[in-house]
Structure 1
Amino acid sequence: MCLLLIMGLNKFELRLEAALPVPADLTRTLAGWEGSWQGALQRALESPALTFVCAFFYLVVFQGFMVASLIVYARAGNDRLYYALCAALLLNYLIAVPFYLFVPVREAWSAATDVRFLMLDVFPSFETQYRRLSGLDNCFPSLHTSISVTMALLALRSGNRRWAIFGVANAVVILFSIFYLGIHWATDMFAGLVLATVVVAVGLKVGAWADRPSLRRKRRPRRKEEFKQLAPSRLTDT
């Protein structure tokens, strides 16, 4: 349900953005004080293998880890982190959408001639298949930054050492990838870090509220009844 709400919100934002008058574009402002340092980073480190790893994490691992986090916390019975993550993901989008609508910032490669969009080297069909899910001017704040850091901060609280390590590693690779691939500005990243800090704090409070003993007792009988309903059919099938 959480992911469906996010997808619906994302689609609504893109449609609303197309219907609204075009506000002032702040891309030149960011490019003015940051320059095009992403191009220098690309020229120093570019390789087909690194480009593939960064693109794979940006498109596949990022979303896969999001879904896997919900499954891991649900299966572990960790209601606090499960609801904290759901609330944090929704808050990330709810807070970011107004910026995308009224403070548009275009991706770095589209504003600086010496910055390449390396994503196309790995996924040539990116602009036709993925772009409708993420507008060209939806840069500030960086949701890849805020969501990956959100997931890492919550993974550190899971008590699962391997999960926490992977969550932090995923966030580090994503933070590097948004610059290496030529997508984001440093300003986007810092705004994403602030956003992640805020939504995690709120999400943990929501998770603590949802994990109250009174609510846990209400959920347990429901699970027992569901199991009883499933049991006869399993015996019949056997």
Structure 2
Amino acid sequence: MEWPFGPYETVMGAILLMTIPLQRLLTRDEPEMRVPLSGLFAEIRDKGYKWHISIFVVMYGFKAFIDQHNEAIKPRVGGFTHYVHGMEGDLTLWVQETFRNAVLSDILSFHYLFVYLFLIWFSPMYYILCKDEVMADKAVLNYFIAYVLAVPLYLFFNVEVTSSFVPGMDALMYHRSWNLFFFTEADPLDNGFPSLHVGIPLGLLAINRLHVRDLGIEIREWRHREFDLFVAANVPIYLFSIQYLGIHWISDVVPGAILAIICALFAHSMQPKLRSLRENGLSSLLPAKRVAYTAVAFSLVGTLILLAAVVDGPGTDEDTPTMRVGPGDVNLDVIEVHSLWHPADVEISNVGDEAVEVLIIHRDAVEEHANGGVIDWISLSDGDVRLLEPGDSLDE
């Protein structure tokens, strides 16, 4: 019998089931510091955790809004994957070919999705269940600021996943019948820069070290040291899996690490001010006038530079490929429909030196043909396949 649930339902179910057991395991030496399940709602009310829940709800809607508009503005900003590939070459392909193994692919695919969502959810929940509202605040702020700062890059600096641009590289996680629907629904496949799978856990680790420095203790003496080790253990796994699975470029890690430092510094400095809002009011969050004016000025100048440099800029060069394939490669791209009244217009141009075959088909019809990171083109090619010779275009 086939598993009746998709990857998102499976992962979220596993996350909820593992939250309490893992928190109890990590706090086995201090049971007196645990919040009993019967007192969880009272703890949320008494410690003012309502805004933590609100942030998760807001970010869910925010991400959906961004994903909806990502493709809509892409024709005006184009893509910059060719610049990244020009610096790195095919190093990620070497990683995939050297270590490729079916079992490893299954494990890392599940880990990539599960642990990332688990850390986002479990980090604040762990601290809430440990009666540590300071660290719960910082964990939520880390997640919130990371996404807010990453959005401009996701929208205006589109970088395709490596499996869409490096000939011969397979999408070991995306091109699986079980995963395909979820990832094509939730991932635009061009939000590689920066890598938040690295940035968010690195941000948590940096926050932990800033926190223990203020406490005047070593990290090994901290009561949450085991959770810190759990987060740290997943970072090298992500550094490998994002290359191996055909997702991120090595260059995506650098801005992810920079983002982690910014998020950690912000969360560490802002948390005490948020906790003192009841006593000091909203005005305590406002910077001095000079600082505020400077920040606004830099924001406006930065926005104008971004718009001038990116919109209709070098990323929109029609002779530069945004996707590449090699002999026998099958790449999948999603056509998003943004209106119930107007159809989506599709334009595909072959700017390469070899002919390519193109098939526009409903996503659901592809699922059964995706297995082990590869889409079986032969089983699909009896559809309305178009042959594009070099220089040809297809308008639908």
Name the TM tier (shorter chain).
0.7 to 0.9
Alignment map for 1:68-107 (pairs within 5 Å): 68-107=122-161
Report the Cα distance in structure 2 between the residues aligned to 1:213 and 1:203, rounded to whole angstroms. 15
Report the Cα distance in structure 1 between the residues aligned to 2:63 and 2:97, rounded to whole angstroms. 33
Contact 2:159 2:192 in 1 (8 A): yes
1:178 aligns with 2:242: yes
Instruction: Give the letter for the 1:75 counterpart.
Output: L
Aligned residue number for residue 17 of structure 1: 70
Report Cα offsets for 1:54-84 as digits up to 9, x if no partner.
1121111211122111111112222221111
Report the Cα distance in structure 2 between the residues aligned to 1:21 and 1:171, rounded to whole angstroms. 31
Instruction: Give the letter for the 1:126 counterpart.
Output: N
Aligned residue number for residue 5 of structure 2: none
Report the Cα distance in structure 2 between the residues aligned to 1:28 and 1:144, rounded to whole angstroms. 22
Instruction: Give the letter for the 1:101 counterpart.
Output: L
Aligned residue number for residue 189 of structure 1: 253
Contact 1:106 1:136 in 2 (8 A): yes
Give the counterpart of 1:45 among 85, 96, 99: 99
Alignment map for 1:148-227 (pairs within 5 Å): 148-154=201-207, 157=211, 159-212=223-276
Q: Percent identity?
A: 25
Contact 1:141 1:192 in 2 (8 A): yes
Higher strand share: 2
* Distance change >3 Å, CA 155–CA 171, structure 1 → 2: farther
User: Normalising by structure 1, what TM-score?
Assistant: 0.82
Report Cα offsets for 1:100-131 as digits up to 9, x if no partner.
1111110011001122211147x433232123
Report the Cα distance in structure 2 between the residues aligned to 1:214 and 1:128, rounded to whole angstroms. 45
Contact 1:36 1:112 in 2 (8 A): yes
Aligned residue number for residue 146 of structure 1: 199
Contact 2:207 2:267 in 1 (8 A): no
**Quick check: 140-149 or 13-22, which moved more?**
13-22
Instruction: Give the letter for the 2:128 counterpart.
Output: A
Q: CA deviation at 1:31?
A: 0.7
Report the Cα distance in structure 1 between the residues aligned to 2:201 and 2:116, rounded to whole angstroms. 7
Aligned residue number for residue 236 of structure 1: none
Contact 2:174 2:183 in 1 (8 A): no
Aligned residue number for residue 230 of structure 1: none
1:132 aligns with 2:185: yes
Instruction: Give the letter for the 1:118 counterpart.
Output: L
Report the Cα distance in structure 1 between the residues aligned to 2:233 and 2:241, rounded to whole angstroms. 12
Ranges in structure 2 where 5+ consecutive residues have no aligned partner? 1-53, 212-221, 280-396
Structure with bigger gyration radius:
2
Report the Cα distance in structure 1 between the residues aligned to 2:81 and 2:171, rounded to whole angstroms. 16
Q: CA RMSD in A?
A: 2.0
Contact 1:81 1:204 in 2 (8 A): no
Aligned residue number for residue 338 of structure 2: none
Q: CA deviation at 1:153?
A: 3.2
Ranges in structure 1 where 5+ consecutive residues have no aligned partner? 216-238
* Distance change >3 Å, CA 70–CA 46, structure 1 → 2: same
Instruction: Give the letter for the 2:108 counterpart.
Output: C
Instruction: Give the letter for the 1:53 counterpart.
Output: I
Report the Cα distance in structure 2 between the residues aligned to 1:55 and 1:152, rounded to whole angstroms. 23
Report the Cα distance in structure 1 between the residues aligned to 2:235 and 2:272, rounded to whole angstroms. 24
Aligned residue number for residue 119 of structure 2: 65
Q: CA deviation at 1:172?
A: 1.9
Report the Cα distance in structure 2 between the residues aligned to 1:194 and 1:71, rounded to whole angstroms. 25
Q: CA deviation at 1:35?
A: 0.5
Report the Cα distance in structure 1 between the residues aligned to 2:72 and 2:56, rounded to whole angstroms. 25
* Distance change >3 Å, CA 42–CA 77, structure 1 → 2: same
* Distance change >3 Å, CA 49–CA 20, structure 1 → 2: same
Q: CA deviation at 1:20?
A: 2.0
